[in-house]
A and B are shown apart, each in its own frame.
Chain A
Amino acid sequence: MAAPSYGKRPWTFYVLAALFTLFVIFLYGPMISVLVLSFQGPSAALNFPLRDPSLMWFDELFNPRRVGDVPGAFSRSLPLALITMLLTVLIAVTAGFAFRRRFRGATLVFYMAIASLIIPGLVLSIGILVTARFLGLSASWYTTALGAHLSWTLPFGLLIMFAVLGRLSPSYEEAAYDLGARRWQTIKEVVLPIVFPGIIAVALFGFTLSYDEFPRSWLTVGTLNTLPLEIWTMTTNVTSPALYALGTVTTVVSFIVIALALGSILIIQRRRSGSS
C-alpha cells in the first residue's frame, strides 16, 4: 500500500526551480565577475584568477592618470539623471492628472507620447543633433542630451502614472470636495499623498533610465562624455581592471538609488497599514 501523500512537490517544481536558478546566475553572474575582478592586484590581468586583491584600481578611477575622465563624466551623469528625474516626475504626474478627465484627442496625444518609445535611440540622437545644428544650438549634456533623455523617460513615467491613477478611486477626490477642500487642497492633502509611492516609482525610472542611457546620449552630449559613454570609450582604449572598478562603482550607485526608492515606498506602506 502506498504511503499517503501530504502535498509532495511534483517533479516539475524541481525542473522549474533549476531553470530559475540558472536564470539568476545568468543575470548576476557577469555582475559578480566584474565585482570580483575590480579588486585585482597590480598584475593588471583582465581575467580570472584574482591575484593580490587591492583597491588600486578604484584609486586609479578617482585619481586618473591613465584612464579617462571618470570623475568628470560622473559629475555630468549624476546631475543629468537628477534633472531628468525631476522633470519626468513633474511632467508625467501633471500629464497623468490631465488624462484623468477625458478631453478631445486624448487618445491621439497618448499614443503620440508612447510612440517615441519605439523610435530607435541612435536615430533620435542623430535627429536631435541635426536639428540643434540647424537651429544654431551647440550640443551639451544639459540641453540636447537632456531633451533626448526626456524623450525616453517621459513615456515610461506617463505609463506608470496611468497605472497609478487608474487605481485611484474618484470617490477620494469627491469626499475631499464634499468636506470643503478646494481643488489645490484636494491635490495636496489627498491625491498626492495617496499616489506618492507611484510617484517614487516614476522618479526611480526617470533616474535609472537616464543614468545608464547610451544610444540617446551618443551624439547629443557634445564634447564632454556622460558615464556610459566614458565606459564605452574606456572599453576601446583602456586595458586595465580600472574598467571593472568603474563597473562596480556605477552599479553600487544604481543599487543605492533603487534601495532608497523601494525603502521609502515600503515605509509609506508600513505606516498606512499601521504596523509601525
Chain B
Amino acid sequence: MTFEYAPAPESTSVVKIKSEYGLFINGKFVPAKGGKTFTTINPATEERLTKVAFAAPSDVDKAVAAARTAYSKVWSKMPAAERGKYLFRIARILQERAREFAVLETMDNGKPIRETRDIDIPLAAAHFFYHAGWADKLEHAGVGSSPKPHGVVGQVIPWNFPLLMLSWKIAPALATGNTVVLKPAETTPLTALLFAEVCQQADLPAGVVNIVTGDGSTGSAIVNHPDIDKIAFTGSTAVGKGIARAIAGTKKSATLELGGKGANIVFEDAPIDETVEGIISGIFFNQGHVCCAGSRLLVQENIQDELLEKLKRRISQIRVGDPLDKNTDLGAINSAAQLAKIHELSQSGDLEGAERWSPQCDLPGKGFWFPPTIFTGVTQAHRIAQEEIFGPVLSVLTFRTPQEAIEKANNTPFGLSAGIWTDKGSRILWTAKHLKAGVIWANTFNKFDPASPFGGYKESGWGREGGRHGLAAYLKGNH
C-alpha cells in the first residue's frame, strides 16, 4: 500500500457569491448601461459562478468622472498621512478576509488554493501595507522635492493573478494620491468586486477606486478616455503595443508589464536539487500563467542528462487536479481559449521536431486542463523557444559556455525575467550583468515582494512596479 493523500478540499462555505454583480462606481454597485451582463465560470468545473455587469463606454465615462471628482475634491486635498491610513486599513481587511479571498480566487481563476492562500492573497495585503507607508514620504521617492500625482489612472489587469495584480496597480496609485478606474480581466472579475466591498468596509471615499468589469472593449474605452492621465497595464505584448500607439501624441504616460520568455540558466555546478525545485516553480507555478515564467530552460550540456532525469522524476510527483484541494500543485488552465493556445503551441513543438514528455497523470473530465509538459531537443528557431506559451510547458535547450548561455538567453524580443543557477558567486554576478532582463533570480525563481521592483526590458514593457522605482511611475517629478 502506498501513501495516497485523501482529498483535502478547502471549504467554500467562507465565500458567498452573489447572484449578480454591478459595476463599482463612486462607492456604489450600479448596473451597467442597459443592464448588460456576462457570466464568469469556474475553469476547473466549467460551472457558472455568477453574472457580472458589462461596462459600456458610457459606464467608463461615469467611472472616470467619479474618479476625477474624487481626485480634485477629496483625495488630492487629503493630508498624505491620512491617505496612507486608508491603505493600512485595506491591508488589514485583506488579511482579515484572506481565506475568503483565497477561496474565491481559486474558484474564479482555477489556481491551487495553496498558492492563493500562501502567495496571492498575503502578497496582495503586503502590497497595500508597503505602499501605505509611502503615502507621506513621497518626497523621498527619488523624483524631486515636490512630486505630484498624475490624477486619474486607468488600470487594466490580467487574469493570471487577479487580486495580486489589482494590488500592484491600486496600492501605489492610491499611495501617491491618484484615483483609479480599474478593469479586471473578463474571466476573473470576482476578487476585484470583493475588493470593492473591502473599500466600502474601509470607508474609502467614494470614487477613489472604481471597478468596471467587461472585456477588451471596456479596456479600450479606458485607454482612450480623454480624461485619464496615466495608463497602467499588465497583459500581452500585442495589447501593450496597441496601448503605446493609442496614447502616442496624448499627455498620457503608461506603465506596461507585458510578456516574457524567461531563460532559466543552469550551470554545471548548480545546487541540483534546489535547481530542480526552481525549474518546477519557474514553469509550473500558477500553471505557467506567469509573464516572468522560466519557460526556456538553458542547461549546460554536460549535466543535461542528470538534470533531466531528476526533473522528470520531480515532475511526476506534481499533483494535478481540484484547485480547492490543499494538496494540489497544478490547477486548471484559466479558460478554454488559453487551453487552445497552449495546445496549438505544443503541437508546433511536435511538428517542429522537439520531443514532448509529460508524466502519467489523470486529468479531470470537466474543466480546462493541461498536464505538466517538457520539450527537449528545442533550439532557438523553434516557436516554443520564441513565443510565450503561458502554460505549464517548458522548452529545454542546452549551451556549452557562459557566453553561449547569455547569447541564447538574450536572443528574444522579450526581457522580463531570467534565472541563474550556479554555486559560484562571481559567475552569478557576471551572468546577471550580461542578461537583458528586468528581474533576475539567482539560485531561486518566481519570488515577488512589494519592495522589489518588477518589470522588463525591451518588448516586456515600460517601467517598473513595486519598490521605490514602481512608486515613482505614479508621480510627476520636478527633478
The answer to whether A and B belong to the same complex is no
